[in-house]
Amino acid sequence: MSIDRSAEMVGPATPAVTGSPTHRASLWRRLARDRFALAGGVVVVAYALVALAAPLVTRALGVDPYTYDLDALGPTGAPAGPAGGISSEHWFGVEPLTGRDLLAIVVMGSRTSLLVGLGATVVSMVVGTVLGLLAGYFGGWVDWVVARLIDVLVGLPALVFMIAIGAVAPGWFPRLLLLVLVIGLFGWSSIARVVRGQTMALRSAGFVRASRALGASPAHVLFRQVLPNLAATLVVFTTISIPGAIGAEAALSFLGVGVPPPTPSWGRSIGDAVTWFSVDPVYLIFPGLALFGITLAFNAFGDGLRDALDPRSAAPRRRKGGAR
Amino acid sequence: MTLVRFLATRLATLAFVLLAVSFLTYALFVLLPADPAQLACGRPCTPERLETARAFMGLDKSVVEQWWDFLRGVFAGRTFGSANATLTCPSPCLGYSFVRNAPVTELIVGRFPVTASIAVGAAVLWLVVGVGAGAVAAVRRGTALDRGLMIAAITGVSAPSYLVGLLGILLFGFTLDMVPVAGYVPFATSPVDWAWHLVLPWTVLALLSAAIYTRLTRSQMLEELGSPYVRTARAKGLSERRVVTRHALRNAAVPVVTLFALDLGVLLGGTVITERVFSMPGLGALLMEAVGATDVPLLVGVTVFTAALVVVANLAVDVVHGALDPRVRHGGSSR
């Protein structure tokens, strides 16, 4: 339901600096022990495969998300028959008013969700990492500017702003790109904050000081020395940001300012279901389950990954100020 | 002294953020092609009539001048048009909706109680449930209760609020007929009906957000419970209840308060969705109506107003934060 908040969960317990091969091996062992996280990972992979092969899947099932089937509708426009028009022809039933196959819509909707989720996360990660690195490394006025940018971003009710932008954006602008940019640009503050903290801690580390003393440029130090040490943090943030971005796309589409019809979107189907769900609750259930499933899977996996990367969150100890 | 300084810094930040937010909103909406003058111009829309409409609405000026007019209007009120045809918008003027023919402030004031009722009730519920469940999970660490609460929390984080809301209406409204399925009754009309209509929205909005607080409180509590001062408190012979509530929980609350400040904007976003699901005529509904009618002044007004709410509430949280944690007052960065 929100943009930035699931990312907040990793805020306080950020992973330690990691990267050695032995560490990585024990990481996989720890992750393999966490069955809940492992199940999440498997579900994520399954969704990704379905999304990648969506046109093949719908063709194999003989359904299409754009084809109207008015014969499947009753006289009121609600699906004919019980349970939302579920039949041998339409396994998940049909969309009210149009009779489009709901299974096809749910399958193709996974593309929209994952595309916007991944795209927006990439935008937030890049912006947040770069600004966090700069602020943490250079300090001074750079840090001040980034801190004020974060203040402004936190002061904005993100969803309200996104709705307003979605409402007034010109029609020629590609809608999916708009969603990716808007959701991404509203989601980088927590990443920037954590990267800034870790960069500040690393700035005084021996290997960074040594490479500076040898005359390395700031770009080299930042991207070759500091950034690789943030890999664990970035991986966890990416995993946990994706469901947030997917939720944001669905929320905007639910409100009618996201993906326009006829492009399939789970959020928009749920939004359409609002007017129908007293007569046709099935129309709400399938897109809703699809959305809930992917979000839960990503969160479970990201959570397990965080625990695996950061043994401290499993065995708590007094934290040093790094991530503040 | 330090408290005065602390407040002064926070107030300066607040003013800065508000200015930046209002400018951003303004610039964005003026630069985008939805043109209120075009909408109000009527048909046939001759270039002269369009110009007149622009001048009347103040859209013929540059973005910065328009922003300045907007800011001045907040403090001094505004008058649109001149001579024989004028519209006045008394201060604090957040713009004038030409679509509805009403000052935006008036529209917002009419809707605000609904949103405030939803948001405040949900926030109270989510803090109590979230912090409570987190503290319980930490104290009972490793038990089935802990594991269950954590799985419930991650499920709660993942469930979209509108989905849970709709299912809630379906179950408790239509099937069990326990609560009303839609609408809002003002507190002044009937406090009982008011609360009865809000029970479901509060619960839905709160339960989902509570999940994050449960997780955060748990991890903070675990950290505090393992720290030397808690051992000292126990060694002194304090009761476990006192150690947990007075010592550990108080310290664990600090990051929770920080997160709460960050979440205020999310809360207002959540009310937009909640109002839609439960058909409540609040600010979120007003925003969606403005979207439907391409009412740009109303969009700008509502956006700036909600941003102001978030920023002011942030200040309040900062003050609480300062009271809880002396380090915040003494210049230490809390974020």
Of B296, B302, B311, the CB nearest to A155: B311
Higher pLDDT, B272 or A167: B272
Q: Which residues of A306-321 are buried (b: 16+ CB within 10 A; e: fewer)?
A: bbbbbebbeebeebee
Nearest to A277 by CA among A87, A79, A110: A79
pLDDT one-digit tens code per residue, A25-53: 677 777 777 778 888 889 989 888 988 88
Cis peptide before A262 (omega within 30 of 0): yes
Chain B CB contacts of A247 under 8 Å are 160
119-178 of A, contacting B, C-beta below 8 A: 148, 150-152, 154-161, 163-170
Q: Which residue has the higher pLDDT, B176 or A296?
A: A296
**Which residues of chain B carry a pLDDT beneath 50?**
332-335
Residue of B nearest to A157 (CA): B265
Angular region, B77: left φ>0, alpha ψ -120 to 50, beta rest: left
Among B20, B34, B269, select the one facing A168 at the smallest CB separation.
B34
Task: Spell out which residues of chain B touch residue A281, defining contact as CB-CB under 8 Å.
Answer: 170
Q: Could you give the CA distance from residue A118 to residue A242 in angstroms, rounded to a whole number?
A: 6
In total, the C-beta contacts within 8 angstroms joining chain A to chain B are 206
Nearest by CB to A251, from B33, B273, B335: name it: B273
Q: Give the residue on A whose Cα is nearest the Cα of B204.
A: A1
C-alpha A182/C-alpha B44 separation (Å) is 36
> ipTM of this model?
0.80
Residue among A8, A151, A278 minimizing CB distance to B13: A151
Find, in chain B, the residue whose alpha carbon is nearest to that of A281: B170
CB-based contact, B288 to chain A, within 8 Å: yes
Residue among A148, A270, A288 whose CB faces B16 most closely: A148
Q: What are phi and psi of A212, to 5 degrees?
A: -70, -40
Tell me if A246 sits within 8 A of B155, measured CB to CB: no
Q: Which of A47, A159, A305 to mutate to test the interface with B (most CBs of B within 10 A)?
A: A159
pLDDT more than 90, % of chain A: 9
Q: What is the pLDDT of residues A213-240, one digit of tens each?
A: 888 888 888 888 888 888 888 888 888 8
A314 CB neighbours in chain B (<8 A) are none
Which of A113, A145, A148, A168 to probe the B interface (max B CBs under 10 A)?
A168
- Judged by CB atoms closer than 8 Å, whether chains meet at B223 and A318 is answered as yes
3-state secondary structure chain B: CHHHHHHHHHHHHHHHHHHHHHHHHHHHHHHCCCCHHHHHCCCCCCHHHHHHHHHHHCCCCCHHHHHHHHHHHHHHCEEEEECCEEEEECCCCCCEECCCCEEHHHHHHHHHHHHHHHHHHHHHHHHHHHHHHHHHHHHCCCCHHHHHHHHHHHHHHHCCHHHHHHHHHHHHHHHCCCCCCCCCCCCCCCHHHHHHHHHHHHHHHHHHHHHHHHHHHHHHHHHHHCCHHHHHHHHCCCCHHHHHHHHHHHHHHHHHHHHHHHHHHHHHHHHHHHHHHCCCCCHHHHHHHHHHCCCHHHHHHHHHHHHHHHHHHHHHHHHHHHHHCHHHHCCCCCC
Supply the pTM of this predicted model. Answer: 0.82
| Chain A, window 26-85: residues with a beta carbon less than 8 angstroms from a chain B beta carbon | 36
Quick one: pLDDT at residue A2? 39
Contact residues on chain B for A3, CB-CB shorter than 8 A:
266, 269
Q: Check if B248 contacts A (Cβ < 8 Å).
A: no
pLDDT of residue B130: 87
Q: Name the residue type at position A71.
A: D
Interface of B with A in 144-163 (CB under 8 A): 151, 154-155, 157-163
Q: Tell me how close the Cα of A219 comes to any Cα of chain B, in angstroms.
A: 26
Interface of A with B in 250-289 (CB under 8 A): 250-251, 254-257, 267, 270-271, 273-274, 277-278, 281, 284, 288
What residues of chain A lie within 8 A of the CB of B16, using their CB?
A: 148, 151
Condensed to tens digits (0 to 9), the pLDDT of residues B260-273 reads: 777 777 777 778 88
CA atoms within 13 A on the CB side of B303: 30
Band (A3; pLDDT cuts 50, 70, 90): very low
Q: Which among A257, A288, A319 has the least Cβ separation from residue B163?
A: A288
Q: Is the pLDDT higher at A182 or at B178?
A: A182
The reply to whether residue B268 touches residue A288, judged by beta carbons under 8 angstroms, is no
Closest CB to A160: pick one of B169, B222, B269: B269
Contacts of A271 in chain B (CB under 8 A): 162
If you average pLDDT over each of A150-159, A176-185, A223-232, B318-327, which comes out highest? A176-185
Measured between CA atoms, the residue of chain A closest to residue B256 is A12
Given a cut of 80, whether residue A211 has pLDDT beyond it is: yes
pLDDT tens per residue across span A4-26: 444 444 443 344 444 455 566 67
Mean pLDDT of A111-132: 93
Cβ-based contacts of A1 with chain B (< 8 Å): 160-162, 208, 270, 273
What is the SS3 assignment for chain A? CCCCHHHHCCCCCCCCCCCCHHHHHHHHHHHHHCHHHHHHHHHHHHHHHHHHCHHHHHHHHCCCCCCCCHHHECCCCCECCCHHHCCCCCCCCECCCCCCEHHHHHHHHHHHHHHHHHHHHHHHHHHHHHHHHHHHHHCHHHHHHHHHHHHHHHHCCHHHHHHHHHHHCCCCCCHHHHHHHHHHHCCCHHHHHHHHHHHHHHHCCHHHHHHHHCCCCHHHHHHHHHHHHHHHHHHHHHHHHHHHHHHHHHHHHHCCCCCCCCCCCHHHHHHHHCCCCCCCCHHHHHHHHHHHHHHHHHHHHHHHHHHHHCHHHHCCCCCCHHHC
What pLDDT score does A21 carry?
55
Q: Which residue has the tokens 């063709």?
A: A59
Task: Indicate the residue of B154, B158, B287 with minimum beta-carbon distance to A160.
Answer: B287
Indicate if the alpha-carbon torsion angle B24, B311, A123, A176 is positive or negative.
negative
Q: Are A37 and A301 in contact (CB under 8 A)?
A: yes
pLDDT digits (tens, 9 = 90+) for A63-108: 777 777 666 666 776 676 666 666 666 666 777 767 677 788 888 8
B21·A156 Cβ contact <8 A = yes
Residues 6+ apart with CB under 8 A from A55: A108
d(CA B276, CA B161): 11
The listed range with the strongest mean pLDDT (A210-219, A285-294, A302-311, B92-101) is: A285-294
Q: Note whether B288 contacts A163, CB cutoff 8 Å.
A: yes
